[in-house]
Amino acid sequence: MTTVGFIGLGAMGTPMAWNLDDAGFDVVVYNRTTDHEQPFAEAGVSVADSPKHLTKRSDVVCLMVSDGDAVAEVLERDLGVLDGLDESTTVVQMSTIAYEETMAAAELVAEAGARFVDAPVSGTVGPAREGTLVGLAGGDEAVVEDVRPVLAAMCDPVVHCGGVGQGTNMKLFVNLLLGNAMNAFAEALVFGRKNGLALDDMRTVVGSGGLDCPLFAGKGAAIADDDFESRFPVDYQFKDLSLALARAGDIGVPLSQTAAAREAFSAARARGYGDEDMAAVLKPLEEMANVSVNDD
Amino acid sequence: MTTVGFIGLGAMGTPMAWNLDDAGFDVVVYNRTTDHEQPFAEAGVSVADSPKHLTKRSDVVCLMVSDGDAVAEVLERDLGVLDGLDESTTVVQMSTIAYEETMAAAELVAEAGARFVDAPVSGTVGPAREGTLVGLAGGDEAVVEDVRPVLAAMCDPVVHCGGVGQGTNMKLFVNLLLGNAMNAFAEALVFGRKNGLALDDMRTVVGSGGLDCPLFAGKGAAIADDDFESRFPVDYQFKDLSLALARAGDIGVPLSQTAAAREAFSAARARGYGDEDMAAVLKPLEEMANVSVNDD
Amino acid sequence: MTTVGFIGLGAMGTPMAWNLDDAGFDVVVYNRTTDHEQPFAEAGVSVADSPKHLTKRSDVVCLMVSDGDAVAEVLERDLGVLDGLDESTTVVQMSTIAYEETMAAAELVAEAGARFVDAPVSGTVGPAREGTLVGLAGGDEAVVEDVRPVLAAMCDPVVHCGGVGQGTNMKLFVNLLLGNAMNAFAEALVFGRKNGLALDDMRTVVGSGGLDCPLFAGKGAAIADDDFESRFPVDYQFKDLSLALARAGDIGVPLSQTAAAREAFSAARARGYGDEDMAAVLKPLEEMANVSVNDD
Amino acid sequence: MTTVGFIGLGAMGTPMAWNLDDAGFDVVVYNRTTDHEQPFAEAGVSVADSPKHLTKRSDVVCLMVSDGDAVAEVLERDLGVLDGLDESTTVVQMSTIAYEETMAAAELVAEAGARFVDAPVSGTVGPAREGTLVGLAGGDEAVVEDVRPVLAAMCDPVVHCGGVGQGTNMKLFVNLLLGNAMNAFAEALVFGRKNGLALDDMRTVVGSGGLDCPLFAGKGAAIADDDFESRFPVDYQFKDLSLALARAGDIGVPLSQTAAAREAFSAARARGYGDEDMAAVLKPLEEMANVSVNDD
């Protein structure tokens, strides 16, 4: 039976780890702070006292931590993952980090003789609970196939995007599209409302044609409820668009619409909405146009 | 039994008129050139020899012609609609025309003592055939309710968007969103492909998350097939974004992302793709970035 | 001696007409309202009681009125310019109007058998007083040369830009550049101030290098004085950028930076600064970034 | 007499060092490769065999090297500047580097007990030869005043922009404005030419009004001569706009026009013009619009 170590029990990581447990894997977890480990311990799931010990016991080690610095730390610290690695282990890096950080982590793991899969996920807490995250896997085909059952416990579908780094690039691709679409929705709603259209009617129309999608349905409902509690905050979307534009500059793809979208998220941050859900990108535009999309 | 006159038997109008016939209305049709009337005549549908005569026989007159000039002509010409109007008739203007043109047509009809509904539709030939166009109705509630059965024969849903002119504004709203979304998809695909991602994988990922919608599914498939035959051409999308930006300027809504999208469609026109499907907005970007999205 | 009729004694037209008088031409003026004619009458300059009478007495008729509708009216009204025209007269249209309006006016004048020069000017009231407006002349070379002395009394330099309509196109060209440059200055100043730089230092640096120009010197001083009294208002600059983008769309030139500039002026209008000098384009950005460029 | 060490004898550094010599300072130079030192040695100027030895002999040490990595290396290497520093020395960092790199260099120098001025320059090789670079000094007022005579030998004016780091921020400010202005000129020229205007006439008009500046005069002449030899290449302008936008995102200033300008330079790089002068930003637009600005 495959033993899966899971490091990082945050809002996303916790339900992902439970899904591994539900799928019948032998699971061992680790979190930097112990409070998030407690429910697992109470349910009889193994808890390791360091990344090193977790790694030594695991066939596959999943990392789901906050950012690239956290990935580097959990690998390189004393009693870190690298200390416990050998050639029988595969590290599956699932945190959303930069391309360069992915490649650096992959190199450290390779130097330790182990295998590496780059597997960020697309989706928020809901899909994490339901096991329907979109898994974006980058790595050698054989390695990705070996860990596919592990990924499939958390993700549906699992898409093999190419070699190491291509999972990260796919994540940038999808978040670039997401940020553009979100701000397009914001511009359209403010334009329509200023023209005298009702939010409910605009939502109905969008939900009835070629643009009918979970994003517009969900954000439309949230805006109607004046609910900007963050599923994915303005700050993160801004960061992802900035990363995408930086990479687009490096590889020679001019993206003028995406650049405009990034500045809209920058405006939302500048106006103090960085911590709110990315739907708050419409707020500076409402202020500018002196209209509220969800009034009656 | 309600008699419905239908003027304009083009690619959209023809299936819309058939749907009226199928729904059991007493239908009379007119087209500027007679060849498009022929199949109706052969099937026993009445054909009028002028808009005036069509109007005299109809309770409801639907207009589905090419543009604002054609609407003005069919109303004002000798033996035109206005010549046949009286207070028992309702004119339902379904062509996509400018807001000012809508208001001018409404005024002419009101001066003739008749009732007017502004009802452009969202959707292409497929939904026109299936009767699933999104009907965007503007007019007094009572009048819209009276003609709702007529609209429902061609459209599902029928959304009452407000007074006269609001159907047109809703059309601008939805096409603004459509143009932004299409170009966002183009930028994302070129970015992703230049990064080494495969088109199929990008389509799978987009189809698996919050952005899963008919637009991206359909355009993704068409791009994969190198099929840029027009459902809705670059030229029309460019025109609609230009109209939306002109109106946004009038009402005080700055739309920097939409402005960037308009210039992308302008680039596609400049490069000679104006007659191709709006998905061709990705072609200038492919040329710029020296990459083909659908190569292997 | 050449008799020059001058129609339109507004803020620009009045000093222009005086310059013609100072240059020794036999001048006859007309204004729709008589109050602006009074100072000329008092100084012994001829005042006509209609455009027709002015035209009958003049070799060259200059038009400097508010917009394209005013040009059409002064030509076509009862006792209008067209009523007084014959083949010995040249009409010099100096108002800033659209390309299509220029061509329509030219056609009317040609049908009356007279000659036409399209000659909008670049510059504000200061250069109008000093006779240093930039004259942008479009028309047949021989005709432009014939009226060059007249233009030279008001303008320095006079640039022959091509056939009829090219004066108008040159005006769009220069105002497109002006609007872009103004908003670039606004973005740079807000960026710099938010970074902690002092406005005076930024002005010094801009005035010391490749960007040293009257625009930045003048607008920089006005911003420092919190003086947004209009030389050229936000509304006009917005209109000119809109006209330029409409024409760019027609001729197939995608202009993504200019499109972004237009939306910045749109934001200034939306925020209520339409009547202020175009330098007020920086105000929405100051509000967004929560910084004042000219504080200490 | 003040002894000035000068490190970095490239295209800019060489004339700057000569200007120090001409101004009567006791100069000692160092370059990583010795060939650039040769002319100085032949003229009797001291040449140091390491940054350390140069520093030990100097009151003021000027750094004018290629980038932030080169600054770090010349400070920290064996026999580097830090090895020779003491509290009697002032380091004047004149290379164009990132804000964070400036602050890191300043900290290293401060830890060594010496004083630091951040003094990047604005201008190209011509002004470097003539001693008319714009010096953008950041540092404590007393320290900047102490080294002002040194800076004044190379720069006119020398602008004190604030504390350490503000020289670098002023450089970003001015290059942000420069990039916007350059691309505005490109968009205007392509628009005008496609409209049928002649380049010479457009240059005359720009040179006659509020936009008359060395940048447009110089780039206009170069474009007319089809001369895209680099004074300041597309790649550098792209890098500077990217740095400015990154910093604008950090400090909360949305810059949508600048973002559009950056993508225009990105397009020029993507099309292969990265090494050409920044005026080549017009080339992709010429290709898109199928027009050549400088044809006849």
Whether D171 is catalytic: yes
* pLDDT single digits (tens) D46-65: 999 999 999 999 999 999 99
Partners of B129 in beta bridges: none
**Tokens 């109905």 appear where?**
A204
Closest Cβ–Cβ partner in B166, B177, B264 for A184: B177
Please answer yes or no on whether B215 and A214 come within 8 Å at the CB atom.
Answer: no
How far off is chain B from D225, nearest CA to CA, in Å?
A: 25
Q: How many CA atoms lie within 13 A of D164 on its CB side?
A: 20
User: How buried is residue B162: exposed, middle or buried, by Cβ count under 10 Å (0-12/13-18/19+)?
Assistant: buried
Q: How many CA atoms lie within 13 A of D64 on its CB side?
A: 24
- Return d(Cα B278, Cα D258) in angstroms, integer: 28
Residues near C41 by Cβ (< 8 Å), separated by ≥ 6? C47
**Is the pLDDT at D1 greater than 90, yes or no?**
no
**Is the pLDDT at B1 greater than 90, yes or no?**
no
Answer yes or no: are the C-beta atoms of D191 and C254 closer than 8 Å: no
Write down the pLDDT at residue A106: 98
Buried b (16+ CB within 10 A) or exposed e, A70-90: bbbebbeeeebbbbbbeeebb
- Return d(Cα B268, Cα C34) in angstroms, integer: 52
The ipTM value here is: 0.94
How far off is chain A from D207, nearest CA to CA, in Å?
A: 30
Please answer yes or no on whether D260 and A260 come within 8 Å at the CB atom.
Answer: yes
**Tokens 């492919």 appear where?**
B286
Answer yes or no: are the C-beta atoms of A151 and A158 closer than 8 Å: yes
Buried b (16+ CB within 10 A) or exposed e, B259-269: bbbbbbbbbbb
User: Looking at beta carbons, which pairs linking B208-211 to residues 24 or more positions away fall under 8 Å?
Assistant: B208/A122, B208/A134, B208/A157, B208/A159, B209/A122, B209/A123, B209/A127, B209/A134, B209/A174, B209/A214, B210/A123, B210/A178, B210/A213, B210/A214, B210/A215, B210/A218, B211/A174, B211/A177, B211/A178, B211/A181, B211/A213, B211/A214, B211/A215
Considering only CB atoms, which chain C residues are within 8 Å of A290?
A: 270
Surface of C (105-124) touching D: CB under 8 A: 122-123
- Return d(Cα C53, Cα D95) in angstroms, integer: 70
Write down the pLDDT at residue B296: 66
Amino acid found at D196: G
Give the DSSP per-residue string, A47-89. Answer: E-SSHHHHHHH-SEEEE--SSHHHHHHHHHSTT-HHHH--TT-
**Is the pLDDT at D176 greater than 90, yes or no?**
yes
How far off is chain A from B4, nearest CA to CA, in Å?
A: 25
Residues near D220 by Cβ (< 8 Å), separated by ≥ 6? D185, D199, D202, D203, D206, D207
How far off is chain A from C259, nearest CA to CA, in Å?
A: 11
Q: What is the pLDDT along chain C (296 residues), one digit of tens a residue?
A: 899 999 999 999 999 999 999 999 999 999 998 899 999 999 999 999 999 999 999 999 999 999 999 999 999 999 999 999 999 999 999 999 989 999 999 999 999 999 999 999 999 889 999 999 999 999 999 999 999 999 999 999 999 999 999 999 999 999 999 999 999 999 999 999 999 999 999 999 999 989 999 999 999 999 999 999 988 999 999 999 999 999 999 999 999 999 999 999 999 999 999 999 999 999 999 999 999 999 86
Per the structure block, which two tokens stand in for C233? 């208002």
Mutate to test the interface with D, among B288, B290, B291 (most CBs of D within 10 A): B288
Write down the pLDDT at residue A179: 98
How far off is chain D from A254, nearest CA to CA, in Å?
A: 5
Looking at residue A108, the DSSP 8-state letter turns out to be H
What's CA D215's distance to the chain center, in Å?
15
Q: Which of C171, C286, C291, C287 is nearest to C237 (CA)?
A: C171
Query: At B262, phi and psi to the nearest 5?
Result: -60, -45
* pLDDT single digits (tens) D221-231: 999 999 999 88
**Tokens 């830009």 appear where?**
C161
Chain C residue closest in CA terms to D246: C191
Is the bond into C120 cis (omega within 30 degrees of 0)?
no
Cβ of A224 under 8 Å from any chain C Cβ?
A: no
What's CA B190's distance to the chain center, in Å?
28
Length of chain B: 296
Neighbours of D59 (CB within 10 A): 17
Domains delineated in chain A:
3-163 (3.40.50.720), 169-289 (1.10.1040.10)
Considering only CB atoms, which chain D residues are within 8 Å of B271?
A: 288
pTM of the model: 0.94
- Cα distances from C231 to residues B135, C36, C120, C215, in angstroms, run 48, 20, 17, 12
Task: Give the C:D interface size as CB pairs under 8 Å.
Answer: 240
**Is the pLDDT at B280 greater than 80, yes or no?**
yes
Answer yes or no: are the C-beta atoms of D184 and C258 closer than 8 Å: yes
3-state secondary structure of C49: coil
Per the structure block, which two tokens stand in for B268? 């596609």
Neighbours of D38 (CB within 10 A): 12
**Is the pLDDT at B42 greater than 70, yes or no?**
yes
Surface of A (201-220) touching B: CB under 8 A: 201-202, 204-206, 208-216, 218
Length of chain C: 296
Query: At B92, phi and psi to the nearest 5?
Result: -115, 105
Closest Cβ–Cβ partner in A259, A267, A269 for D263: A259
Looking at residue B191, the DSSP 8-state letter turns out to be H
For chain A, the maximum distance between any two Cα atoms, rounded to a whole number of angstroms, is: 64
Cβ of A249 under 8 Å from any chain D Cβ?
A: yes
Going by their DSSP bridges, the two strands A155-162 and B26-30 should be labelled as unpaired
- Cα distances from D39 to residues B233, D34, D63, in angstroms, run 65, 10, 19
Answer yes or no: are the C-beta atoms of B202 and B194 closer than 8 Å: no
What's CA B3's distance to the chain center, in Å?
24
Q: Which of B52, B56, B171, B219 is catalytic?
A: B171
- Return d(Cα B172, Cα B227) in angstroms, integer: 26
Cβ of A200 under 8 Å from any chain B Cβ?
A: no
Please report which confidence band the pLDDT of residue D295 belongs to, taking 50, 70 and 90 as the band edges.
confident
- Return d(Cα C296, Cα B218) in angstroms, integer: 57
Per the structure block, which two tokens stand in for D55? 């520093």
Between these two residues, D61 and B97, which has the higher pLDDT value?
Answer: D61
Mutate to test the interface with A, among B177, B212, B277 (most CBs of A within 10 A): B177
Rounded mean pLDDT for each run of 10 residues along chain A, 296 residues in total: 95 97 97 93 96 98 95 97 96 94 97 97 93 97 97 97 97 97 98 97 96 97 96 94 95 98 98 97 97 89
Angle (CA) C46 C49 C55, round 5°: 75
pLDDT over 90, % of chain B: 94
Residues near C129 by Cβ (< 8 Å), separated by ≥ 6? C15
Answer yes or no: are the C-beta atoms of A136 and A120 closer than 8 Å: yes
Write down the pLDDT at residue B236: 93
- Return d(Cα C268, Cα C234) in angstroms, integer: 7
* pLDDT single digits (tens) B167-220: 999 999 999 999 999 999 999 999 999 999 999 999 999 999 899 999 999 999
